[in-house]
Amino acid sequence: MKKYTILLSIIFMLFGQGSRQLDSLALVALYNATNGVNWSDPWDFTQGIDTFSGVTLSSGRVTSVKLSSRGLNGSIPDSIRYLTEITNLWLQSNDLGGAIPAAIGNLNKLTSLRLYGNQLNGSIPPELGDLANLTLLWLYDNQLSGSIPPELGNLTKLTSLKLSSNQLNGAVPDELSTVTSLNILELQNNQLSDIGDFSFLGTLKLDQNNFEFDDLEPNLAIGSFTYSLQANIGEEETVYVDKGETARLHLDVGGSANTYQWFKGGVAISGATTDSLILSSVQESDGADYILTVSSTTVPSLTLNSFPIHLQISLGRQADSLVLVQLYNLLGGENWKKSWDFNKVLDSLEGVEIVNNRVSSLYLIDFNLSGPIPAELGQLD
């Protein structure tokens, strides 16, 4: 295929900026790259390209390629760039894989690009932002990843952008909010977070992403606006707290009218209705899984749930501290080369390794220890 692309490049130089011959060769490349012999309606190359099903010509040039649900299997070749008069490229609902070629950005007369319902992967090429006449860009239901390129904000004629059901992440670029011609923006079922004011839209779909209430509030006036089933907030974590100490659990959640409720082991905690939960003088019974649910008085029909926070009450850290004090005193700690300061937390003591809130290892090499090894070390179990 690389040799074929080089050949096309040479022919392109010979024929100039565009020709029917180049159109023909680009179609041959597309046919070969997508297993054309097994299409549901393969082309007959003994006939002219004006007989090819799904291909439309005007003044002898290819202006439209519509091959939806034809069984295309393979990848889109870079030589697609030579269809310089094309306005519609529809390859949806096939079995195409690989990346979207950046070369599509050369098709400056393209008004409609439909590649949805395939297995395309990689990132959305920023070169698509060069398609100055594009009004419709549908890339949904693929395996595209990475962020939405801000260059799409250059598509000043775009009316419909559908990127749902991919693996896109990061913020929705502010540049898109400057495309005032845009009417439909569908981003559901990705891992997107952070979006600005798109209230000029007619349709906005943000379901199944990582948005919070402050992302949704500016867009509530949109006539068709959906935002259900956002991902869990925060991160799943384990918090270790000594018995008798204070546990502080907190989550920051964006929104101007949030309401909160903490749960312990699936049961609502009475009075725990802020973004922080403070448990004083914790006991063993406080060890449990805690979850915060967040609703909003201005964003109806949505509740955000946190990942669980596993609170574990340590019964041994205080005992470990006492053993280390005894060790220090019995082995001449005041004369050690690397002295300990018990006014600081255990984690700061040189040579002491803490795992899961307990002393797990002691590395007291070249400390100038003196005296017999104390039996109290056996208490560091």
pLDDT band at 17 (very low <50, low <70, confident <90, very high): very low
- Residue 56, pLDDT > 90, answer yes
d(CA 328, CA 197): 61
d(CA 289, CA 277): 13
pLDDT confidence of residue 318: 66
In sequence order, what DSSP letters do the residues of 206-243 get, joined into one string? --SSS--HHHHGGGTT-SEEE---PPPBS--EEEEEET
Tell me if domain 2-226 and domain 237-314 are identical in fold.
Answer: no
- Residue 2, pLDDT > 60, answer no
pLDDT digits (tens, 9 = 90+) for 136-145: 999 999 999 9
pLDDT band at 4 (very low <50, low <70, confident <90, very high): very low
Neighbours of 49 (CB within 10 A): 17
Are 233 and 305 spatial neighbours (Cβ–Cβ below 8 Å)? yes
pLDDT digits (tens, 9 = 90+) for 79-94: 999 999 999 999 999 9
Neighbours of 108 (CB within 10 A): 12
CATH level 2 (architecture), domain 2-226: Alpha-Beta Horseshoe (3.80)
pLDDT digits (tens, 9 = 90+) for 181-233: 999 999 999 999 999 999 999 999 999 999 999 999 999 999 999 999 999 99
pLDDT confidence of residue 367: 78
pLDDT digits (tens, 9 = 90+) for 324-334: 777 878 877 78
For all residues of the chain together, what is the average pLDDT? 90
Sign of CA dihedral 300, 199, 130, 171: negative
Are 75 and 2 spatial neighbours (Cβ–Cβ below 8 Å)? no
- Residue 379, pLDDT > 80, answer no
The CATH code that applies to domain 237-314 is: 2.60.40.10
- Residue 121, pLDDT > 90, answer yes
Give the list of residues 6+ apart from residue 328 with CB closer than 8 angstroms, or none. Answer: 336, 340, 342
Percent of residues, the chain, with pLDDT higher than 90: 73
Are 178 and 150 spatial neighbours (Cβ–Cβ below 8 Å)? no
- Residue 271, pLDDT > 50, answer yes
In the chain, what are the domain boundaries?
2-226, 237-314, 317-379
d(CA 71, CA 17): 31
pLDDT confidence of residue 152: 98
> What distance lies between CA 225 and its chain's CA centroid?
21
pLDDT confidence of residue 1: 44
